[in-house]
Amino acid sequence: MAPVSSSRPRKPNISDVAQVAGVSYQTVSRVLNNAPDVSAATRERIQQIIKDLGYRRSRTATALSTSRSTTIGILTDGSPRFGPVGTLMALEKVARQKGYFTTVVTVEEPYMTSVPKALDALDEVGVDGIIVIAPLLSMAAEVRSAAIHVPVEMIAAGVSSTPSLFTYSEDQELGARMATQHLIELGHTDIAHFAGSTDWFDGRVRKRGWEGAMRDAGLEPGLCVEGDWSPGWAYRTGLQLVEEGAVPRAVFAASDHTALGLIRALSESGIRVPEDVSVVGFDDVEGSEFFLPPLTTVRQDFTALAHASIEVLLGAIEGREVDRAPSMPLLVRRQSAARAHKV
């Protein structure tokens, strides 16, 4: 009996593209690698043929021809919080735009064992470099002590680079200063801080920004309560302050979700925002403009953060200097903060 032949058509390869286009294999390769020495007309024609044929570039072939995997590893703790999730999504998108695949590995406690295993796994699959989204101090400590054979960059707010570990972040301390200064400019002097966990780099630098802005204005930092970033914690804490008669005239909340919980507690207690208490958040989460009232907050630009972070890593991979200045936040003024009443 004759062997049964497969009916699945052969996938088109780079030689097929070259034959249809009437050009050399090398010309198609230059187009695929975005080399400059191809005319615009030829480039456009080859790109259309690639699309028409359904040609897909082989990652294995690329790695063999360039000695690079065109893959970036991303290590994350899997936090559901807005910052880490927004950072991860932006990194994956920007890496793809720059022609890199991403391999994502999630770690969990105990970091002492999970972080080294995850880094080893990324190293074994041959990534060109690794970006670590490290919101927690405990996770970052294990990254610092790990032995890694490819360039590693850690996204961690307010952390300096070392000879073996690059760091990058948005200037969140500046963002916290901007939020606090906005309240000061509105005439507030009794400005409390609903802080995020200081087990997080973000929580530490946002608290530091609030303290710095207060002291620069000649004001002593007042009430500071630390929580877990959640609206539930802020709601319960807000109710407790109402019961104790200790509600401040203005609050800088370390996250928009924290601000949301606080605003509900105040509203249920008959305290109006912003007429009685002004509130400013941090993050500009989707829907914050539809809070009641619309929330004044600090916006993080995750796309800018991702572009800069990947450029820093690629600079390390390629051995070139790049701009490592932190990306800048933006204060978004809405209706949750108002001018202080004169007393």
Q: Would the pLDDT of 254 be above 70?
A: yes
Mean pLDDT of 147-153: 85
Neighbours of 52 (CB within 10 A): 11
CATH label of the domain that carries residue 219: 3.40.50.2300
| pLDDT computed for residue 274 by the predictor | 97
> Mean pLDDT lowest for which of 34-43, 53-62, 163-172?
53-62
Show the tokens assigned to 38: 């191809």
Task: Clarify whether residues 197 and 143 are in a common domain.
Answer: no
| pLDDT computed for residue 312 by the predictor | 87
Mean pLDDT of 134-148: 89
Residue 1 lies in a domain: no
Residue 217 lies in a domain: yes
CB 305 within 8 A of CB 277: no
Mean pLDDT of the chain: 88
Residue 343 lies in a domain: no
Helix pair angle (137-145, 111-124), 10° resolution: 50
Pairing of strands 224-226, 330-332: unpaired
**For the chain, what is the total number of helices (H) and then of strands (E)?**
12, 11
H-state helical runs in 125-255: 137-145, 172-185, 201-216, 231-244
Task: Clarify whether residues 137 and 80 are in a common domain.
Answer: yes
DSSP states along 282-324 = SB--TTGGGSSSPPBEEE--HHHHHHHHHHHHHHHHHT-----
Per-residue pLDDT band for 242 (boundaries 50, 70, 90) equals very high
100-133 CB burial, b ≥16 within 10 A, e <16:
bebbbbebeeebeebbbebbeebbeeebbbbbbb
pTM for the predicted model, two decimal places: 0.77
* Residue among 106, 109, 110, 108 nearest 121 (CA): 106
Task: Clarify whether residues 51 and 118 are in a common domain.
Answer: no
Mean pLDDT of 203-218: 97
Residue 272 lies in a domain: yes
| pLDDT computed for residue 226 by the predictor | 97
CATH label of the domain that carries residue 31: 1.10.260.40
Over residues 105-123, the pLDDT tens digits come to: 999 999 999 999 999 888 8
The tally of domains found in the chain comes to 3
| pLDDT computed for residue 6 by the predictor | 42
Q: Give me the phi and psi of 143, to 5 degrees please.
A: -65, -45
| Alpha carbon distance 117, 95 (integer Å) | 24
Show the tokens assigned to 182: 């906005």
Q: Which domain holds residue 321?
A: 69-170+302-327
| 316 vs 89, more confident | 89
Per-residue pLDDT band for 150 (boundaries 50, 70, 90) equals confident
Per-residue pLDDT band for 5 (boundaries 50, 70, 90) equals very low
> Mean pLDDT lowest for which of 22-36, 275-289, 295-309?
22-36
Task: Clarify whether residues 102 and 216 are in a common domain.
Answer: no
Mean pLDDT of 20-34: 81
Q: Would the pLDDT of 2 be above 90?
A: no
Task: Clarify whether residues 143 and 74 are in a common domain.
Answer: yes
